[in-house]
Structure 1
Amino acid sequence: MSWEAEIQELRRREELARQMGGKERVEKYKSYGKLTVRERIDKLLDEGTFHETGAIAGKAKYDEEGNLIDFTPANFILGTGQIDGRKVVVGGDDFTVRGGAADGAIFGKQVYAERMAHDLQLPIIRLVDGTGGGGSVKTFDTSGHTYIPVNPAWDYVVANMERVPVVAACMGSVAGLGAARVAASHFSVMIEDTSQLFVAGPPVVKYGMGQDLTKEELGGIQVHRSSGAVDNVAKSEEDAFDQMRTFLSYLPSNVWKLPPVLESGDSPERREERLISFIPKNRRAPYKIRELLPLLFDKDSIFEMGRYYGGGTVTCFARLDGHPVGVLAPDPFINGGGLTADSSEKLERFVDLCQTFHLPIVNLVDQPGMVIGLPSEKKGTIRKGVRAISAVYQAKVPMIEIIMRRVFGVGGAGMSNGHSLNQRYAWPSGDWGSLPVEGGVQVAYRRELEASEDPDALLKELLDRMESIRSPFRTAEAFGVEEIIDPRDTRPLLCEWVKDAYERLPQQLGISRHGMRP
């Protein structure tokens, strides 16, 4: 007696599942320039490593004798595979079956994927391509009743944020719970021309809000490049997969492990001559921060997140002698690098990300403070800024501060925890205080200037007097700054620091005291 017949039936059902929504729907979907979910998984993972779970789950029809006569697979595919030799969980929506909507899914598969990542302590990747919510209102006709919404697996979705790397890609028109699955991640990416993301799609928005918009107008790249709903934009699906793999390369598989250290072909003693003149003598002149970063960090190791949201603050991963680190830096071309409501939120989230996965932080400081004025006040910038500062103070990962130029006000003071062992170095271009001297003099000496017969001459006299006082060497004399360095020495010092930092990290392994939220 053999079970060969049953195995043959299993293989038949597996083949039916691989046909997804059928030849016609698959061809139509691919005509839009998109890959199917199975092709996406194959492109994303190391070749030949995908092991599918629940392949034959779906909706079947049988004849009176119990023979299978029709089968529609569930529109969610899950399993495990490897990325650069490390095991991950991957789950993807199949748009060719009911447009990726929930009424074509078996919720148990999504729940299982999240639980698998949670219990096996593996990174999870979501390839989202549909609503993933309650499906069409037509389902009420079938069920005969409505229901109170429940977000499937959301207990695991929330818990995974503080345990394992969570990566999500918006692969098509994604609404409702599908959009929430994209946002509930440590790193998310959209694709130019083929991705749209919204709380509700155009028909619902038109009916509910009277706004007649196309999918692209409502939730395309031009909306979300700078909205903060997603981190990055990709030029193609292949580019999105590259970004997802790169993001994961900086992180451990879970919070109980250290970030992976790679061999580096870049000398830790590299001293870049350009650094000595990189910061302009003119304090009001900006500089290109993205040209500075490669002078300090391992070559070709910079991976930026969220460039167009809160653009005055740059957040990226990099490596120092092969060791992954998080990097905070200013972009003086945008609000002078000052903290806005958006950039404060961005800073807070990135510091929490580094804290969650034990990445030491390099803080390159040129911080004029929180952006002032009525628009900033209307956005509650002070509260957002204080939240960002709180994240810095709560972080226990090693952090080093390189003061390149300005440190002013509450925002500048919050760039590092000044009440802890404050590891920092200043460049000779350092300039700091409660207020910039130029504006502070006019405030502090307002009465004298108003009473003066020659206010311009008095102002010049005051500024000239303050110019020598504001010298960073005066601060160093009072031990107000620990060390002023030649900017060309920065990389060697950082590479020495990062090795010491990684020696201390094992003491911090595990779940952070404050779990990360999206």
Structure 2
Amino acid sequence: MTWQPEIDELLQRRAAALGMGGPAKLEKQAAMGRMNARSRLAAVADEGSFREIGALAGFAAYADDGAMLSFQPANFLFGRATVDGRPVVLTADDFTVRGGAADASLHRKLTDAERLASEYRLPLIRMIEGTGGGGSVRTLETMGYTYIPEIPGWEIMVDNMARVPVVALGLGPVAGLGAGRQVMAHYSILVDGVAQMFVAGPPVVAAAGEIRTKETLGGAHIHAANGAIDDRVDSEAEAFARLRRFLSYLPSSVEELPARGVVKDKRRKGEDWLASAVPRDGRKLYPIRPIVEAIVDRDSWFEIGREWGLGVVTGLARIDGWPVAVIASNPESLGGLWTAATARKVERHVDLADTFHLPVVHLVDNPGFLIGRRAEDEATIRWGSRALAAIYQASVPWVSVILRKAYGMAGSGHAPADRFRWRMAWPSGDWGSLPISGGLEAAYRAELEASEDPAARLAEIKARLERVRSPFRTAEHYGVEAIIDPRDTRAELCEFVNLAQRALVPGRKGRGLRP
């Protein structure tokens, strides 16, 4: 007697699981321009590397004699895989089974995916599509009772934010708990035009009196601009490419240090145009991204959050092969002033760098916090103070290159002041508690009023103060550690990142990363 009948049943159940929601639902998924869950798993994993866990889990109906009449697989799929040779935990929601709703899922699969990533120190990739929350109202009638809400596994998701890299790809409508899982990540993406994110979808919102389409309620363009997600992309293929790029800069867990990449341009000299990159006229704006790309390794710049918090540009890069986190003031947005959104963006990026042991390279041209009624309405001082707290709590090596302005409280966030400051300034450096030009008339009112020619006296005072504000005067008093030729910036940063490796310590930080 062999076990062939059971083996035959195993094959039958595997085939049913691979069928997902059935041919009609799969065709509908394709007609909407979206890949199905298993196609996504195959597209992201290295060829042949995906090993599914819990493939036979689902909901079956049986005849009186015990024969299986039908089988509906659970709509959450996960397993082990490699991505670019690195072991990861790969998950995907199956929208073809009850639209990804929780009443067609098994919560233990979701929590086990999170636990596997946590306990085995593996990056976690979530491909999200659907609600994944409490199911529909109809589910309550089927259950025959209601319940006080809880989120199975949320505590593990929170812990994973401080333990392993988490990437969330929104590849279709994402609502409720699905939206929560989307933002509980170090890097999150929505596919423009096919993925939307909301606390509750249009039917629920309509019941509250607000009529919206999916796009006008929670389209990718909305959340890329408000910072709820990091980026939006044009296709699933682009989302998969970006997740690979993002992971390439990070260790597999906080217990490791980021790996050095290939050193391609060690002897690369500084670009000559950097000497005139910052205009002499302090009122003139200039683009920051070309400067970033000129000082990091070629083709290594990976910007994150391009559409929100526009006063800074943030991203990952390599310098002399070593991964770094870059924060760069963006003068083309309000002169680089920190708004509430800019401060939130700084805080988030500093936390990412500190959690995964990435040295920070800060290019500074910061005239301070935004002022006025908008600043007060947005609670800029609270969000700005949180950003400063994150900077001071960070323990990774930090280098500041002061390109031009560093003023006020926001300007003090150019570097943590409670440890060795690796700072260098370009000759265009201009700093202080407040801009000199903004307080002249008030500070010298009596002298100006007593003058026979107030305009001439004001010009004289300005000329005197222009000499005082020279960055070389600051360097004389060791108020800045170095002033450099802008063309030497890359060489100086190569020195920094190599020495920074000696100061990096693997392990978990005392506080978890804030989502």
Pair in the same fold by TM > 0.5: yes
The separation in 1 between residues aligned to 2:24 and 2:292, in whole angstroms, is 49
Which residue of 2 is the match for residue 221 of structure 1? 220
Contact 1:192–1:235 under 8 Å retained in 2: yes
- Consecutive unaligned residues in structure 1, runs of 5 or more: none
Which residue of 2 is the match for residue 346 of structure 1? 345
Which residue of 2 is the match for residue 485 of structure 1? 484
Which residue of 1 is the match for residue 80 of structure 2? 80
Which residue of 2 is the match for residue 437 of structure 1? 436
The separation in 2 between residues aligned to 1:223 and 1:446, in whole angstroms, is 48
The separation in 2 between residues aligned to 1:10 and 1:215, in whole angstroms, is 41
Q: 1:509 is matched with which residue: 506, 510, 515?
A: 506
TM-score by length of 1: 0.97
The separation in 2 between residues aligned to 1:413 and 1:461, in whole angstroms, is 30
The separation in 1 between residues aligned to 2:350 and 2:326, in whole angstroms, is 9
Matched, 1:233 2:232: yes
Which residue of 2 is the match for residue 10 of structure 1? 10
The separation in 2 between residues aligned to 1:186 and 1:381, in whole angstroms, is 23
Deviation (angstroms), 1:448: 4.3
The separation in 2 between residues aligned to 1:190 and 1:456, in whole angstroms, is 57
Q: What is the letter of the counterpart of residue 218 of structure 2?
A: G
Deviation (angstroms), 1:450: 5.6
Which residue of 2 is the match for residue 61 of structure 1? 61
Q: What is the letter of the counterpart of residue 173 of structure 2?
A: S
Other structure's SS at 2:478 match: coil
Which residue of 1 is the match for residue 34 of structure 2? 34
Which residue of 1 is the match for residue 157 of structure 2? 157
Contact 2:192–2:221 under 8 Å retained in 1: no
Contact 2:221–2:232 under 8 Å retained in 1: no
- Consecutive unaligned residues in structure 2, runs of 5 or more: none
The separation in 2 between residues aligned to 1:193 and 1:122, in whole angstroms, is 31
The separation in 1 between residues aligned to 2:267 and 2:67, in whole angstroms, is 68
Deviation (angstroms), 1:453: 5.7
The separation in 2 between residues aligned to 1:435 and 1:445, in whole angstroms, is 15
The separation in 1 between residues aligned to 2:210 and 2:453, in whole angstroms, is 59
Other structure's SS at 2:501 match: helix
Which residue of 2 is the match for residue 175 of structure 1? 175
The separation in 2 between residues aligned to 1:406 and 1:386, in whole angstroms, is 19
5 Å-filtered alignment, 1:248-263, equals: 248-263=247-262
Q: What is the letter of the counterpart of residue 323 of structure 1?
A: W
Deviation (angstroms), 1:513: 1.1
Q: What is the letter of the counterpart of residue 464 of structure 2?
A: R
Other structure's SS at 2:137 match: coil
Deviation (angstroms), 1:452: 5.3
- The 1:12–1:372 alpha-carbon spacing in structure 2 relative to 1, beyond 3 Å, is same
- The 1:446–1:135 alpha-carbon spacing in structure 2 relative to 1, beyond 3 Å, is farther
Which residue of 1 is the match for residue 264 of structure 2? 265
Which residue of 1 is the match for residue 324 of structure 2? 325
Which residue of 2 is the match for residue 305 of structure 1? 304
The separation in 1 between residues aligned to 2:445 and 2:141, in whole angstroms, is 74
5 Å-filtered alignment, 1:375-454, equals: 375-449=374-448, 454=453
The separation in 1 between residues aligned to 2:413 and 2:231, in whole angstroms, is 27
Which residue of 2 is the match for residue 285 of structure 1? 284
Which residue of 1 is the match for residue 193 of structure 2? 193
Matched, 1:23 2:23: yes
- The 1:234–1:152 alpha-carbon spacing in structure 2 relative to 1, beyond 3 Å, is same
The separation in 2 between residues aligned to 1:47 and 1:185, in whole angstroms, is 25
Deviation (angstroms), 1:454: 4.4
- The 1:447–1:214 alpha-carbon spacing in structure 2 relative to 1, beyond 3 Å, is farther
Contact 2:295–2:490 under 8 Å retained in 1: yes
The separation in 2 between residues aligned to 1:375 and 1:28, in whole angstroms, is 46
Contact 1:256–1:509 under 8 Å retained in 2: yes
The separation in 2 between residues aligned to 1:450 and 1:11, in whole angstroms, is 95
The separation in 2 between residues aligned to 1:442 and 1:127, in whole angstroms, is 59
Which residue of 2 is the match for residue 242 of structure 1? 241
- Deviations for 1:264-290, whole angstroms, at most 9, x for unmatched residues? 211254221111111111111111111
Contact 1:268–1:321 under 8 Å retained in 2: no
Q: What is the letter of the counterpart of residue 168 of structure 1?
A: A
Which residue of 2 is the match for residue 366 of structure 1? 365
Q: What is the letter of the counterpart of residue 9 of structure 1?
A: E
The separation in 2 between residues aligned to 1:402 and 1:183, in whole angstroms, is 32
Other structure's SS at 2:130 match: coil
The separation in 1 between residues aligned to 2:53 and 2:450, in whole angstroms, is 81
The separation in 2 between residues aligned to 1:408 and 1:138, in whole angstroms, is 58
Other structure's SS at 2:156 match: helix
The separation in 2 between residues aligned to 1:34 and 1:215, in whole angstroms, is 16
Deviation (angstroms), 1:58: 0.5
Q: What is the letter of the counterpart of residue 434 of structure 1?
A: S
- Deviations for 1:174-197, whole angstroms, at most 9, x for unmatched residues? 111100000000000000110100
Q: What is the letter of the counterpart of residue 59 of structure 2?
A: K
- The 1:369–1:3 alpha-carbon spacing in structure 2 relative to 1, beyond 3 Å, is same
- The 1:144–1:453 alpha-carbon spacing in structure 2 relative to 1, beyond 3 Å, is farther
- The 1:449–1:47 alpha-carbon spacing in structure 2 relative to 1, beyond 3 Å, is farther
The separation in 1 between residues aligned to 2:66 and 2:445, in whole angstroms, is 92
Other structure's SS at 2:280 match: coil
TM-score by length of 2: 0.98
Q: What is the letter of the counterpart of residue 224 of structure 1?
A: H
Deviation (angstroms), 1:200: 0.7
Q: What is the letter of the counterpart of residue 294 of structure 2?
A: L
The separation in 1 between residues aligned to 2:105 and 2:493, in whole angstroms, is 50
The separation in 1 between residues aligned to 2:54 and 2:143, in whole angstroms, is 25
The separation in 2 between residues aligned to 1:300 and 1:446, in whole angstroms, is 53
Deviation (angstroms), 1:8: 2.3
Deviation (angstroms), 1:449: 4.3
Q: What is the letter of the counterpart of residue 211 of structure 1?
A: E
Percent identity among equivalent residues? 50
Q: What is the letter of the counterpart of residue 320 of structure 1?
A: I
- Deviations for 1:57-83, whole angstroms, at most 9, x for unmatched residues? 100011111111100100010001111
Contact 2:249–2:258 under 8 Å retained in 1: yes
- The 1:452–1:203 alpha-carbon spacing in structure 2 relative to 1, beyond 3 Å, is farther
Deviation (angstroms), 1:447: 4.8
Deviation (angstroms), 1:103: 0.8
Pairs aligned (count): 515
- The 1:32–1:426 alpha-carbon spacing in structure 2 relative to 1, beyond 3 Å, is same
The separation in 2 between residues aligned to 1:451 and 1:348, in whole angstroms, is 48
- Deviations for 1:354-410, whole angstroms, at most 9, x for unmatched residues? 100000000111111111111101211111111111111111100011111111111
The separation in 2 between residues aligned to 1:330 and 1:442, in whole angstroms, is 29
Deviation (angstroms), 1:321: 1.0
Q: What is the letter of the counterpart of residue 86 of structure 2?
A: R
